[in-house]
Structure formats: structure tokens, C-alpha cells
């Protein structure tokens, strides 16, 4: 009987985790109630926890912070803090460019080493900066910047091979894309490893089953393009011609490579940025599972998907549960919430005037779930402002969970709500925060199980 209880508990826990979903291009609200600000990011796994380290674009393109977030599941993110922040002068001073931060752990020195693209506002310096820290998500000490082997370096990445040798991946505008070996302590560049003469930026390197895969983007500024990959069994030679891996013409589903994350021995996840060049704080993330077989890499688009981080197969995802849509205009309104016209919404109408001084609210009753589970609900919405809106969400009378809703113009997008549902019927209430206005609510997309 004890064994049966344990088995049943394990099944329930597995089910509870199985409906947490990654939503490419959505608003991802972290523990600080703000959209994740970790653009151009790298990711490192330490003792079962993933740390996402990227650029803070809250106030635009000039350097503000290198932020760090943590997660055990790649879905629910905790804001931990800033590794580096703007200083009064120097490389990290006002109006400086600090992009694409990446971290490796150096086993020889027992230090975490952070590399980043350092530049002036007109991109005339083209250097790498280096910082070190004693903990992955703590404060780092900035060591300075240089041109690696006297070459230009703009978009960059890091890679550590199985033997611990570190490599800098660097876009040299004058010559092409470079792989360069790092010194034993990772603090400098010691040798040139390989050069592609092609104009490729946003590099990310993956190794699976003895084969290397370099991913990158053509040079089209903030605008997306069909990103490419090249593959070889050696870092120094034998690299294949560049090929696309997403649907041709999709512009990598409107994204640009920032990293590729191995998951288990045979699978990997593409991590990309969907830049909003006119309002960088509203940029989002396109993360999708890759399909890799020998020299062939492909990637399909998905509105949402369930990551499988314990996989030993070639897929980093598992089947997504069935879903039910609940229209905003069919919900019950409180305060002065009411129907508003919405040409991009599913039924041409949305639930508007949520929040505000009249405390508009939208209540979805009889939201069905076939299991007691923690799940991801996509809140489909419109926000025509240039800054985020916010709403409190209450599930089954519980504590309010504050969600962010990035600007969308007149389009519909998703904000992710990670919450506990009970088996049977549930109630979800969306209301304002203080007297602030929430978004217009198109509908909820709710997993059934």
C-alpha cells in the first residue's frame, strides 16, 4: 500500500509538471512582477538550476544591467539580481553598449567568468569585456575590455568543450565569424581556432554526440532573418556550408539566435530574441525545441510547448495537453468593465476597461481541468500603450498574482499565467492593480489536463 501511494504521488507530481509550458513570444512575468529582462542571454545549469543571464532593456539600448534569473523548469523564473550595473564612467558607464553576456564556470580557478560585447554608442570599439564572480548569480568584478587577438568583436558567445577548454565565438565585421581558444583561466584569448569568411553574427555553439553545431544569424540589424547552422566533427576544420533550420522565409519565426541549450545527451533547445527595435523593453523570447539527426537540424514553430528536461531521447518536448478557450466577452463583468471592439481578437470583441478607478473586473467561471495540477494558462490580450500594463489574477479565491502585459499595438499576444488548478471547475478573476488599467482581454487558453 505504501508503494502504491508513492507511485500515485509520483504520477500526480509528473502530471502537475507536465502542463507547465513555454510560450514563445509571450510576456513572461518573473517573480518581481515584471517581464523577464534578459535579452541576448546565455544560460548555465548549476546543481539542477538554470540561470538565465542577459541584457536589461527596460530603458532602451544603453547599458543598464546584466540581469540574472533562476528556474528549475525553464518556465517559472525568479529574478535574483544584477551581476553588473551601470557605473558613472568607463566601459559600463552612461550611453555604453553592453550586449550578449555569457558565463562559463572555470574549474581550475573555481570562478565564474562573464564575457560580453563592449562598445561605444556608435559601435566603433568592437571589444569583449570580462568579469569574474564567486557565485553564478552574485555580484561580478569587472576586469576590463580588449580586442581578442587584435580583431574586432561584436556579437559573441562562449563554449566549453568536454575537456574544459573554453572558446570565444566572435563576429569580426572585417573578416567573418571566429572561434578562438581561451586561456586556461578563461580570462584572455590564447589562439585562433577557426574562421568562417561569411558574415554571421549572434553565434551559439552546441555539441551533441561528438558533433559540433554552430548557429548564427545573417547581418540585418534588429530585423530578423532566416538564421543558419554549420556542423562539423572538429572545431578546427570540416565545417559544412550554412543551412537554414527553421521554415524557409519564416525569419526563424521572427527571432534571432542568442543561445542553444543542450538537454540530456541527445536533445537541445533554441533560445532566441524577438526584438522590438522601436521599443526594446517590449522584446520577447522565442524558445523552441530543435530536432537534430546527424548533420540535419530542423525546428518547427509552436504557440506553446511542454519542455521535457529529463529526456534521454532526441526531443526536448513532450505532447501538449488538449486546451479549452474561454472568451473574454463571455465572462462576467464587474465594476465598469465592458465589451470593446477588437479587430484582431478571436471574436472581434474583447473584455475592456479592466481596472481603472471604477475597478473593472472579468470573472471566468466554470474553467475546467481534468486534474489537480500546476499549469500554464495563456492570457490572450491587447495593450495599445507604449509601456506595460498590469493586472492581478485570482484563481479560486486565492492570493492575487500580478501579471505584466507588454505593449502589442493593435495585435493580440499572450501573457503567461502559471497557476494551480483543481480537478473540476475553477474560477479565474482578472482585475486592475490599484487604479491602473489592465489590458483588454481576448480570451484564456486553458489546458484541460
Q: Which is more confidently placed, 301 or 10? A: 301
Q: Range with the lowest mean pLDDT among 13-17, 100-104, 331-335?
A: 13-17
Phi, psi of 291 (to 5 degrees): -110, 115
Over 50: is that where the pLDDT of 3 sits?
no
Over 50: is that where the pLDDT of 6 sits?
no
Locate 131 and state its grid cell.
568579469
The percent of residues in the chain predicted with pLDDT above 90, rounded, is 96
d(CA 289, CA 296): 14
Give the containing element (helix H, strand E) for 425: strand 424-431
Over 90: is that where the pLDDT of 4 sits?
no
Find how far residue 43's CA is from the centre of its chain. 9
Distances (CA, A) of 277 to 57, 96, 198, 220, 281: 11, 17, 25, 12, 9
The stretch 415-430 carries a mean pLDDT of 98
Q: What is the pLDDT of residue 449?
A: 81
Distances (CA, A) of 430 to 23, 215, 339: 20, 41, 15
Q: Range with the lowest mean pLDDT among 15-29, 194-208, 287-301, 360-374?
A: 15-29
d(CA 112, CA 106): 6
Locate 247 and state its grid cell.
521554415
The stretch 44-61 carries a mean pLDDT of 97
d(CA 187, CA 209): 28
Residues 449/369, Cβ–Cβ less than 8 Å: yes
Over 50: is that where the pLDDT of 113 sits?
yes
Closest alpha carbon to 201 in 88, 99, 66, 62: 99
Over 60: is that where the pLDDT of 307 sits?
yes
Closest alpha carbon to 349 in 365, 367, 333: 333
Residue with cell 501579471: 403
Closest alpha carbon to 399 in 369, 425, 431: 431
The stretch 288-295 carries a mean pLDDT of 98
d(CA 141, CA 87): 12
In Å, the largest CA–CA distance within the chain is 70
Q: What is the pLDDT of residue 15?
A: 42
Closest alpha carbon to 380 in 430, 427, 334: 430
Over 90: is that where the pLDDT of 318 sits?
yes
Q: What is the pLDDT of residue 252?
A: 98
Q: Write down the mean pLDDT value for the chain.
A: 95
d(CA 99, CA 42): 11
Q: What is the pLDDT of residue 19?
A: 86
SS (H, E, C) 345-380: CCCCEEEECCECCCCEEEEEEEEEECCCEEEEEEEE
Q: What is the pLDDT of residue 18?
A: 52
d(CA 18, CA 368): 17
d(CA 203, CA 260): 9
Angle of CA points 259, 260, 262, to nearest 5°: 140
d(CA 441, CA 432): 12
Model's pTM, two decimal places? 0.95
Q: What is the pLDDT of residue 354?
A: 98
The stretch 151-158 carries a mean pLDDT of 98
d(CA 159, CA 53): 15
d(CA 40, CA 156): 10
Question: What's the DSSP call for residue 2?
Answer: H
Burial class (CB in 10 A: 0-12, 13-18, 19+), 46: middle
Distances (CA, A) of 61 to 94, 121, 170, 276, 432: 11, 9, 20, 11, 30
Please state, as a whole number, how many other Cβ atoms lie within 10 Å of the Cβ of residue 190: 15
pLDDT tens profile 254-282:
999 999 999 999 999 999 999 999 999 99
Strands 317-318 and 306-307 turn out to be antiparallel
Q: Which are the contacts of 90, defined by CB distance < 8 A and separation ≥ 6? A: none
Residues 439/381, Cβ–Cβ less than 8 Å: yes
Locate 255 and state its grid cell.
527571432
d(CA 448, CA 375): 10
d(CA 306, CA 274): 20
Angle of CA points 333, 337, 340, to nearest 5°: 110
pLDDT tens profile 343-377:
999 999 999 999 999 999 999 999 999 999 999 99
Closest alpha carbon to 179 in 149, 142, 208: 149
Closest alpha carbon to 444 in 421, 428, 420: 428
Residues 430/393, Cβ–Cβ less than 8 Å: yes
Amino acid at each position: 500500500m505504501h508503494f502504491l501511494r508513492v507511485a500515485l504521488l509520483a504520477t500526480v507530481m509528473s502530471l502537475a509538471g507536465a502542463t507547465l509550458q513555454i510560450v514563445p513570444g509571450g510576456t513572461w512575468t518573473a517573480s518581481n512582477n515584471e517581464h523577464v529582462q534578459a535579452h541576448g542571454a546565455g544560460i548555465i545549469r548549476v546543481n539542477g538550476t538554470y540561470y538565465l543571464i542577459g541584457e536589461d532593456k527596460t530603458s532602451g539600448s544603453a547599458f543598464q544591467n546584466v540581469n540574472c534569473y533562476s528556474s528549475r523548469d525553464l518556465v517559472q523564473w525568479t529574478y535574483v539580481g544584477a551581476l553588473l550595473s551601470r557605473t558613472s564612467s568607463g566601459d559600463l558607464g552612461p550611453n555604453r553598449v553592453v550586449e550578449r553576456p555569457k558565463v562559463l564556470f572555470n574549474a581550475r580557478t573555481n570562478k565564474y567568468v562573464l564575457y560580453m560585447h563592449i562598445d561605444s554608442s556608435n559601435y566603433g570599439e568592437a571589444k569583449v569585456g570580462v568579469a569574474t564572480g564567486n557565485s553564478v548569480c552574485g555580484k561580478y568584478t569587472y576586469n576590463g575590455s580588449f580586442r581578442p587577438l587584435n580583431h574586432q568583436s561584436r556579437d559573441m558567445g562562449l563554449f566549453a568543450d568536454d575537456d574544459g577548454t573554453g572558446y570565444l565565438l566572435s563576429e569580426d565585421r572585417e573578416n567573418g565569424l571566429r572561434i578562438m581558444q581561451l586561456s586556461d583561466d578563461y580570462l584572455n584569448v590564447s589562439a585562433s581556432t577557426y574562421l568562417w569568411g561569411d558574415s554571421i553574427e549572434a553565434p551559439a555553439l552546441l555539441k551533441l554526440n561528438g558533433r559540433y553545431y554552430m548557429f548564427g544569424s545573417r547581418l540585418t540589424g534588429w530585423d530578423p532573418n532566416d538564421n543558419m547552422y554549420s556542423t562539423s566533427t572538429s572545431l578546427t576544420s570540416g565545417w559544412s556550408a550554412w543551412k537554414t533550420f527553421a521554415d524557409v522565409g519564416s525569419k526563424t519565426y521572427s527571432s534571432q539566435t542568442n543561445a542553444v541549450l543542450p538537454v540530456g545527451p541527445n536533445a537541445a533547445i533554441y533560445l532566441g530574441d524577438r526584438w522590438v527595435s522601436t521599443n526594446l523593453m517590449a522584446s520577447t523570447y522565442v524558445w523552441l525545441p530543435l530536432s537534430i539527426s546527424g548533420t540535419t537540424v530542423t525546428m518547427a514553430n509552436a504557440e506553446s510547448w511542454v519542455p521535457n528536461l529529463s529526456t534521454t531521447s532526441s526531443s526536448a518536448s513532450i505532447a501538449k495537453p488538449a486546451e479549452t478557450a474561454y472568451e473574454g466577452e463571455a465572462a462576467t463583468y464587474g465594476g465598469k468593465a465592458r465589451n470593446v471592439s477588437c479587430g484582431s481578437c478571436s471574436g472581434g470583441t474583447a473584455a475592456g476597461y479592466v481596472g481603472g478607478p471604477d475597478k473593472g473586473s472579468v470573472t471566468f467561471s466554470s474553467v475546467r481541468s481534468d486534474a489537480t495540477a500546476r499549469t500554464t494558462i495563456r492570457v490572450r490580450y491587447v495593450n495599445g500603450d507604449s509601456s506595460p500594463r498590469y493586472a492581478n489574477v485570482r484563481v479560486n479565491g486565492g492570493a492575487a498574482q500580478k501579471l505584466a502585459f507588454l505593449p502589442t499595438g493593435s495585435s493580440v499576444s499572450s501573457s503567461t499565467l502559471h497557476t494551480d488548478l483543481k480537478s473540476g471547475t475553477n474560477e479565474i478573476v482578472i482585475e486592475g492593480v490599484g487604479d491602473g488599467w489592465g489590458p483588454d482581454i481576448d480570451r484564456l487558453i486553458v489546458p484541460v489536463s
